[in-house]
Structure 1
Amino acid sequence: MSIKISSVSKAYNTQKALNNISFSAEKGQIIGFLGPNGAGKSTMMKILTGYIKPNEGSVLVDEIDVLQHPLDAQKLIGYLPEHNPLYSDMYVREYLQFQAAIYKVDKCNIETCIERVGLSTEAHKKINQLSKGYQQRVGLAAAILHNPKILILDEPTTGLDPNQLVEIRALIKDLGKDKTVLFSTHIMQEVEAVCDRVIIIKKGEILVDKTLEELKKGNLQNIEVTFDYNIEEQFLQKLPNVVSYKNNYDTTWYITFESTEDMRPVIFDLAQENGLKILGLNAINKNLETLFREVTS
């Protein structure tokens, strides 16, 4: 097991950032670590890297106790924090040489990493001359320089243009073949494109820990229906298996059901029984963004 988090809790004064969090991850997994702002994502990542300590619980990285042996654990981890800390007055190669010296790795790795993250055309510049997107690439190059077993990426695609996004997605997927990657982002499309497992937390607690495929095969279904005139909410309450409903605009409603059965015929039958006409009836394909809203709202 590459990562094993057991019953981890962390509080800042009276505010609990993490509440009895447990999960594990294996080599070859790319995990989307998701949650609304303030959910505790960055706190968990900082604990995993040994940057801060939890109040309770244990953290193991490749069977090494991060709390007892933080330096040994950090040798196995590549970390790109949300606010990428760089020495902006250094040249790109100079900065990576500095990082290589810290990790005591062969400097020949530098050119390999520069090429791998797509920095070759910018490597002769000072970091403060680079765009935000290229500065992110410098941080990513530093994170993989020592060939870590585990990659922790906190908002790694911030500042990248659409072309750069495609390149970094491909790189993360490639890295995930022989590493464990924990990947935090607010962009759900990134998770769908890159990750094979999703952990969603809210207020310091895990709400969901499933593969992306399992999430998409869930029982929740969303249907948008337009009637020929305004109806009362009580009408929708007659429908079986209703989880929620919302009046989007005019006579159009967005209804969520929990059922494996296609609920569109049920809506149609109820409308007929009550003398209503249906002007539109569509099943809304569930994407991760929809699932995220359903879970965290």
Structure 2
Amino acid sequence: MTALIEIEGLTRKFGSFTAVDDVTFSVARGEVVGFLGPNGAGKSTTMRMLAGFMLPSAGTARICGQDIVEKPIAAKRELGFLPEGAPTYPEMSVIDFLSFCARIRGFRGSEMDDRVAIAMSRTQLDGVRLQPIETLSKGFKRRVGLAQALLHSPPVLVLDEPTDGLDPNQKHEVRELIREMAPEKAIIISTHILEEVAAVCTRAIIIARGRVLADATPAELVRDGRSMDDVFRALTLGEAA
């Protein structure tokens, strides 16, 4: 399988503190990788570097063969990114914000309208399309962020906590959407919800203290009757796995 995401030796330092330490992995089309770790493990920093929002101190990453440092615009064209907190322009309505994002992506006229309509439909936003984003619940704001990531049908999705703030039914809908998209895309999902990994991921990467501790399928991680929670706790607390 051809890797659409390639991360090699990715490192980020803040002064004397190393937030991400020599992280290397790849993700092929059809894979959904759960990126797991405790708070402060380096998940969001890794994803920001992969998305080109933060320069690495060392190493690099490629999206569909485009280097994020050498060819950042070309790399971002292939990427849909849902960042931590799903930042938006809160005073804009949902449809105005998504139309703005579509124009930035280069869409105009009926194509822009179609892209926005499809993204809203896939994320169940039609009912709040005219509401200012600042009036929405946390779950709806998260869905607005997901919709903007899907607008241009990118081959690579990097989603930081995509179900954060959603109720159980909404979580199920988002997970079904990810399963539906998975065969044609390479997807990374940062999460601290272990059940999410079992529900939608084909691989799990566990990171702590900035370093990758495990990279395996969920089934391989829970061998010998251990739960995902047992494996996660053992690895991230430095116990014998």
TM-score, normalisation: structure 1: 0.76
Q: CA deviation at 1:286?
A: 2.7
The letter for the 2-side match of 1:53 is: L
1:141: which partner in 2?
147
2:233: which partner in 1?
293
Q: CA deviation at 1:156?
A: 1.2
2:25: which partner in 1?
23
The letter for the 1-side match of 2:213 is: L
Do structure 1's residue 201 and structure 2's residue 239 form an aligned pair? no
The letter for the 2-side match of 1:11 is: K
Indicate the SS of the match to 2:149.
Answer: helix
Equivalent residue in structure 2 for 1:169, among 161, 164, 175? 175
Q: CA deviation at 1:287?
A: 2.3
Do structure 1's residue 128 and structure 2's residue 134 form an aligned pair? yes
Q: Deviations over 1:112-166 (max 9, x none)?
A: 1111111121112111221111111111000000111111111111110111111
The letter for the 2-side match of 1:296 is: T
- Larger Cα Rg: Structure 1 or Structure 2? 1
The letter for the 2-side match of 1:50 is: G
In 1: Cα distance, 2:127 partner to 2:59 partner: 45
For structure 1, the residue ranges without an aligned partner over 5 or more in a row are 220-284
Q: Deviations over 1:240-267 (max 9, x none)?
A: xxxxxxxxxxxxxxxxxxxxxxxxxxxx
Q: Deviations over 1:148-187 (max 9, x none)?
A: 1111111111110111111111111112121111001111
Indicate the SS of the match to 1:176.
Answer: helix
Do structure 1's residue 184 and structure 2's residue 184 form an aligned pair? no
The letter for the 2-side match of 1:290 is: D
For structure 2, the residue ranges without an aligned partner over 5 or more in a row are none
Indicate the SS of the match to 2:183.
Answer: coil
The letter for the 2-side match of 1:287 is: S
Q: Deviations over 1:52-77 (max 9, x none)?
A: 11111121111111110101100111
Q: CA deviation at 1:216?
A: 2.1
In 1: Cα distance, 2:139 partner to 2:10 partner: 33
In 2: Cα distance, 1:191 partner to 1:294 partner: 17
In 2: Cα distance, 1:171 partner to 1:77 partner: 17
In 1: Cα distance, 2:198 partner to 2:53 partner: 29
Do structure 1's residue 46 and structure 2's residue 48 form an aligned pair? yes
Indicate the SS of the match to 1:181.
Answer: strand
In 2: Cα distance, 1:61 partner to 1:96 partner: 24
In 2: Cα distance, 1:9 partner to 1:88 partner: 33
Bigger relative contact order, structure 1 or 2 (CA pairs below 8 A, ≥6 apart): 2
Do structure 1's residue 9 and structure 2's residue 26 form an aligned pair? no
In 2: Cα distance, 1:167 partner to 1:33 partner: 20
1:95: which partner in 2?
97
Do structure 1's residue 56 and structure 2's residue 58 form an aligned pair? yes
TM-score, normalisation: structure 2: 0.93
Indicate the SS of the match to 2:127.
Answer: coil
In 1: Cα distance, 2:167 partner to 2:61 partner: 35
In 2: Cα distance, 1:27 partner to 1:296 partner: 28
Indicate the SS of the match to 2:125.
Answer: coil
In 2: Cα distance, 1:42 partner to 1:87 partner: 21
Do structure 1's residue 154 and structure 2's residue 160 form an aligned pair? yes
The number of residues matched between the two structures is: 231
1:76: which partner in 2?
78
